[in-house]
Amino acid sequence: MRLIGPAVREDVREATPQSHALLVGIGVIIMAASAVYRPIVRSFDIKFVREAAAHVRAGGHAVVWEKKNRAVLVFEKPADDNPADFGLWAVYDMGKSRFKLATSGALKGLATTLVPRDCLWIVKRRAERDSIHPGSTRKMAIDCTKCAACCHDNEVVLLEEDIERFKNGGRAELAKPPYAKRHKDGRIILTLLPNKRCRHLQRSNRCGIYEVRPNPCSEFPMGSECCLYAREDVLNLHDGLVPTDSN
């Protein structure tokens, strides 16, 4: 699974690192059926950078290819007060933490981040997945109670405020074994059951500690690239074309 966490922004903006292979922090909102509008991902050769910018300004995400093995992900500038921004999560999904705002050219004002070489296949697969969807955004019906994919095989890192919330909610034990474990690097992480389900995930697919659930869970956005990946990885649910292995 891939991971999540709160964002920290500056001019060269940075957010909590995530990783495609090592997915930290997930979260589940465990909400009943909802509809979300998610960005459609399209690939553009650098010659069509204006079209890429128009696609992003209409709500999509663009992968702009500067060379065969060099691509930039372009998305709208995330709002400072929205840790659930889909652009941020598209960056997290590549294990990245930083993005820039373009200051000139067709992409001026838009957020960009270089796609790591080992993540080129990820952005290719996103574009392939979305190739069957028209437009720049897509309305997607989601029912977290029928999914809970992000509550599997994850790594939910507890923040100070989560531990404080546990204490204030009379559940201080949730930050200790067997519910959580301190790793060698000092991070405290929720433990999983042997079948890789979160220990707090109920048979009904609802979160057993919903009222005090950690921030990485409550901030995890439905319909983000991390959510779509979890659904593919755990449930084999693809919101679009099933990607080929040719990437």
Longest Cα–Cα distance in the chain:
58
**Least distance to ligand SF4, CB of residue 239, Å:** 10
Q: Which one of 12-20, 41-49, 61-69, 219-227 is the stretch in contact with ligand SF4 (CB under 6 A)?
A: 219-227
User: How far is 190 from 49, CA to CA, in rounded Å?
Assistant: 43
CB neighbours (10 Å) of residue 129? 19
Among 200, 219, 225, 243, binds ligand SF4 (CB under 6 A): 200
In this complex, which beta carbon is closest to ligand SF4, that of residue 21 or of residue 32? 32
Using CA atoms, how far residue 157 sits from 94, 141, 154, 187, in Å, is 18, 28, 10, 7
In this complex, which beta carbon is closest to ligand SF4, that of residue 56 or of residue 94? 94
Q: Which one of 41-49, 76-84, 176-184, 200-208 is the stretch in contact with ligand SF4 (CB under 6 A)?
A: 200-208
- How many residues touch ligand SF4 under the rule CB under 6 A: the total is 25
Secondary structure class of 38 (helix, strand, coil): strand
User: How far is 183 from 157, CA to CA, in rounded Å?
Assistant: 10
Q: Which one of 72-80, 83-91, 127-135, 227-235 is the stretch in contact with ligand SF4 (CB under 6 A)?
A: 227-235
Residue 84 near ligand SF4 by CB under 6 A: no
**The tokens 């270089």 sit on which residue?**
114
In this complex, which beta carbon is closest to ligand SF4, that of residue 120 or of residue 226? 226
Residue 42 near ligand SF4 by CB under 6 A: no
Residue 1 near ligand SF4 by CB under 6 A: no
In this complex, which beta carbon is closest to ligand SF4, that of residue 107 or of residue 230? 230
Among 29, 88, 94, 110, binds ligand SF4 (CB under 6 A): 29
Indicate the pairing of strand 98-101 with strand 13-15.
antiparallel
User: How far is 176 from 190, CA to CA, in rounded Å?
Assistant: 9
Among 5, 27, 60, 83, binds ligand SF4 (CB under 6 A): 27
Q: Is the dihedral of CA 227, 230, 236, 241 positive or negative?
A: positive
Q: One-letter amino acid identity for 170?
A: G
Among 18, 86, 201, 225, binds ligand SF4 (CB under 6 A): 201
Phi and psi at residue 240, in whole multiples of 5°? Answer: 150, -155
User: How far is 48 from 54, CA to CA, in rounded Å?
Assistant: 10
User: What part of residues 104-163 is at the interface with ligand SF4 (CB under 6 A)?
Assistant: 142, 144, 147-151, 154, 156
Q: Is the dihedral of CA 47, 65, 232, 219 positive or negative?
A: negative
Residues that bind ligand SF4 (CB under 6 A): 26-29, 142, 144, 147-151, 154, 156, 198, 200-201, 207, 209, 213, 217, 220, 222, 227, 230-231
